[in-house]
Structure formats: structure tokens, C-alpha cells
């Protein structure tokens, strides 16, 4: 997998605009500028290796098993219509973190910070003001 991992990661590049559009609940909001922003990092040398190493890093640390160790307040937010990481997984994450607050943003996909920035900012402002 050490050599195959980057190859698998590289497959993201071939999916292009289709992958970006699947990350948004409302693909009509994906402008040419948004697409260009997603393509730009894929032009950096060894981006595929970096993505693979980032993916592996979480597994090596057994983060899933250590969630109970996180004692600071955590805000978990997700788009209700996320097709990449289902909202149910974020609900479970919030339940496993001892001090988590969960915000599910309706009519929003995988990248709520981009697709629904006002709602995300409102959630962050509420969370920080507590």
C-alpha cells in the first residue's frame, strides 16, 4: 500500500469537477472559480503522496479509539446532505467526544464552510460565545 496509496489518491484528479460537484448539495453554486480552487493543489508536486500520508497519519495514531481523551470543548458541524461523509457519522463523532456540540446544517453538503458559510459562521460564533 505504500506505493499504491498515492496511486489511489491520484484517482481524485481524474474525477475532477464531478467530485467537486458531488461535495455540494447544490452543485449550481460551484462556479468556475471554485473548480479552479480545487484543481490548484492538484498541480503541486507530490500532492498525491501528501494526501496519502495525511490519510495514513490518523490511522497510525488510533484517533478513533482516543476520542474520549479530548477534554476541550469541540464544535462538530456537518451538512445534512453530505454524500461523502454521511451526517450520521458526525452525529456519532459528537456523541463519542466528551464535550462536543453538534450542528447539522440543512440543505448543505460535504463542505459547509464553502457552501453555507453564513450558517457555519453563525454556529462558530454561537459556540465561541458560550
pLDDT tens over the chain, length 130 residues: 566 666 666 676 666 677 788 899 999 999 999 988 888 888 888 888 888 888 788 777 788 888 999 999 999 999 999 999 999 999 999 999 999 999 999 999 999 999 999 999 999 999 999 8
For residue 46, is it left (φ>0), alpha (ψ between -120 and 50) or beta?
left
Grid coordinates representing 84 are: 461523502
CATH T-level assignment (fold) for domain 68-130: Rossmann fold (3.40.50)
* Distance between CA atoms of residues 88 and 90, nearest Å: 5
Which DSSP helix (H) or strand (E) runs through 104?
A: strand 100-105
Domain ranges of the chain: 1-61, 68-130
User: Which residues lie across from 72 on neighbouring strands?
Assistant: none
* Distance between CA atoms of residues 92 and 79, nearest Å: 14
Amino acid at each position: 500500500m505504500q506505493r499504491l496509496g498515492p496511486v489511489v489518491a491520484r484517482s481524485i484528479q481524474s474525477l475532477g469537477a464531478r467530485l467537486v460537484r458531488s461535495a455540494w448539495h447544490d452543485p449550481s453554486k460551484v462556479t468556475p472559480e471554485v473548480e479552479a480552487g480545487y484543481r490548484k493543489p492538484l498541480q503541486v508536486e507530490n500532492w498525491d503522496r501528501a494526501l496519502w500520508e495525511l490519510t495514513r497519519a490518523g490511522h497510525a495514531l488510533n484517533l478513533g479509539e482516543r476520542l474520549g481523551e479530548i477534554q476541550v470543548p469541540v464544535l462538530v458541524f456537518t451538512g445534512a446532505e453530505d454524500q461523502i461523509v454521511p451526517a450520521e457519522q458526525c452525529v456519532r463523532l459528537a456523541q463519542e467526544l466528551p464535550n462536543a456540540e453538534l450542528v447539522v446544517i440543512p440543505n448543505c453538503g460535504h463542505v459547509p464552510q464553502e457552501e453555507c458559510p453564513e450558517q457555519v459562521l453563525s454556529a462558530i460564533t454561537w459556540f465561541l460565545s458560550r
